[in-house]
Amino acid sequence: MGFTKLKNHFKGSGIKYKSVGIAILAALLYGISSPISKLLLMKLPPTLMAALLYLGAGFGMGGISIYNIAMKKKQLEAKMTVKEVPYIVGMILLDIAAPILLMLGLTMTTSSNASLLNNFEIVATSLIALFIFKETIGKRMWLAISLITISSIILSVSNFSSFSFSIGSIFVLLACLSWGFENNCTRMLSLKDPMQIVVVKGVGSGIGSLLICFMLKEYSNNWLYISIALLLGFVAYGLSIFFYIRAQRDLGAARTSAFYATAPFIGVIISWIVLQEAITESFLIALVIMLIGTYFAVSEDHKHKHVHMIENHEHKHGHYDGHHNHQHEYEIIGEHSHEHTHDALEHKHTHLPDLHHRHTH
């Protein structure tokens, strides 16, 4: 292996492991939401709670964005454009629909049924990524997704004999399908500014959920709990979605979803620390299976000769990855953002299903 190829190999591996770390960080932040939400729901209605979490994400990340502008920090990320409107609208509508479908399902089925069926989101995201968005998922990654899904199922149900399929189950599955499509819509936006995406997603979905909340007349004037819910939304939704989108940029929808599935395990550990809930034998079994699945996902090495067609787009990039070879009129050091064209290129290297590698096999 020549020096340049060796350097690119380690560079590619570094990007992969960094993105995996970012995906798990997103799961860690989201995992905080379940035990704290459980406490807040004692005083806040579920629909209002959902609206506050999204609004906290949108307003919180919006505040950071305004601060960056005020401090005149250099903007490296590409902004969303009219081209992305279909994915933006889809992302917002699906984020409003999914919780409603889930709540309808919960009124007609048991919480253990809903928890079990919720794991279909990982599978739905992967299947939609594969068949509709043409994301490559190899045998090793399917094994990883299967093991992580099995571990989530073991974690989410205490008594398999109590499982039953009903009309409520169909609504829960429709909620998972909605989130599966939403994850893939978000993936199509992942080359754009993650902070802008979270602001649009949070404010749009939050306002939509709030309108439904008013229609159902589910209010609360407990301003302390409302403030805590908004703060939780900023941390567990805003920052979590920000890192989730950043991970999708390099890993694709299916892989990021698989790593994000570690969130319930983090939630159980936090519940053990904060709420003094016991660590069960099934949790330890599920944890071992999840770690094995994570190993297969992290150690996946996808490499073959592939062709890049001519493409024109805008996103943050550098000139070190072998894909951005265009010239500038003046010297640019480091990452930057502008509209650029990729020439047709054929080469072989280890790669992930990012938006530069959507080729079929």
Written in H, E and C, the secondary structure of 50-100 is HHHHHHHHHHHHHHHHHHHHHCCCCCCCECCCHHHHHHHHHHHHHHHHHHH
Q: How far apart are CA 120 and CA 107, in angstroms?
A: 19
More confident residue, 350 or 87: 87
Helix and strand numbers (H, E) in the chain are 14, 4
Q: Is residue 225 part of a domain?
A: yes
Q: Is residue 75 part of a domain?
A: yes
Q: How far apart are CA 264 and CA 190, in angstroms?
A: 24
15: Cα within 13 Å, side-chain hemisphere: 21
In the predicted model, is pLDDT for residue 338 greater than 50?
A: yes
Q: Are 168 and 113 in contact (CB under 8 A)?
A: yes
Q: Which amino acid is at 198?
A: V
pLDDT at residue 336, rounded to an integer: 62
Q: Are 264 and 32 in contact (CB under 8 A)?
A: no
In the predicted model, is pLDDT for residue 8 greater than 60?
A: no
In the predicted model, is pLDDT for residue 3 greater than 60?
A: no
Q: How far apart are CA 246 and CA 227, in angstroms?
A: 27
Q: Are 52 and 224 in contact (CB under 8 A)?
A: no
Q: Is residue 228 part of a domain?
A: yes
More confident residue, 125 or 338: 125
Q: Say which range, 43-47, 99-103, 141-145, has the weakest mean pLDDT.
A: 99-103
In the predicted model, is pLDDT for residue 238 greater than 80?
A: yes
pLDDT at residue 351, rounded to an integer: 56
Could you give the number of structural domains in the chain? 1
More confident residue, 62 or 35: 62
Q: How far apart are CA 329 and CA 23, in angstroms?
A: 36
In the 8-state DSSP scheme, what is residue 191? T
Q: What is the mean pLDDT of residues 325-345?
A: 67
Partners of residue 313 on adjacent β-strands? 340
Q: Say which range, 127-131, 166-170, 234-238, has the weakest mean pLDDT.
A: 166-170
Secondary-structure breakdown of the chain: helix, strand, coil percentages, each rounded to the nearest 5: 65, 10, 25
| Top-ranked range on mean pLDDT: pick from 32-36, 82-86, 149-153, 266-270 | 82-86
pLDDT at residue 320, rounded to an integer: 64
33: Cα within 13 Å, side-chain hemisphere: 27
State the chain's mean pLDDT as an integer. 82
In the predicted model, is pLDDT for residue 182 greater than 60?
A: yes
Name the residue among 227, 176, 195 with its Cα closest to residue 79. Answer: 195
pLDDT at residue 172, rounded to an integer: 86
* Rounded (5°) CA angle 198-204-205: 85
* Rounded (5°) CA angle 138-140-143: 110
Give the pLDDT band of residue 269 (cuts 50, 70, 90). confident
How many residues are listed for the chain in this entry? 361
Q: Say which range, 60-69, 134-143, 325-334, 347-356, has the weakest mean pLDDT.
A: 347-356
In the predicted model, is pLDDT for residue 177 greater than 90?
A: yes
pLDDT at residue 7, rounded to an integer: 45
More confident residue, 267 or 234: 234
Q: Is residue 315 part of a domain?
A: no
Q: Which amino acid is at 114?
A: A
Q: Are 227 and 59 in contact (CB under 8 A)?
A: no
How far is residue 290 from each of residues 29, 258, 297, 338, measured CA to CA in Å? 18, 10, 10, 40
More confident residue, 248 or 72: 248
Q: Is residue 35 part of a domain?
A: yes
| Top-ranked range on mean pLDDT: pick from 101-110, 233-242, 299-308 | 233-242
Residue 80's Cβ-count burial label (10 Å; 0-12, 13-18, 19+) is middle
Portion of the chain with pLDDT greater than 90, in percent: 30
Domain around 102:
3-301
| Top-ranked range on mean pLDDT: pick from 164-168, 171-175, 201-205 | 201-205
Q: What is the mean pLDDT of residues 39-62?
A: 91
Give the pLDDT band of residue 88 (cuts 50, 70, 90). very high
Q: Is residue 274 part of a domain?
A: yes
Q: What is the mean pLDDT of residues 276-300?
A: 84
In the predicted model, is pLDDT for residue 169 greater than 70?
A: yes
pLDDT at residue 345, rounded to an integer: 66
More confident residue, 108 or 63: 63
Hey, is 271 helix, strand or coil? helix
Q: Is residue 357 part of a domain?
A: no
More confident residue, 144 or 313: 144
In the predicted model, is pLDDT for residue 352 greater than 80?
A: no
Q: Is residue 343 part of a domain?
A: no
Q: Say which range, 21-25, 45-49, 98-102, 337-341, has the weakest mean pLDDT.
A: 337-341
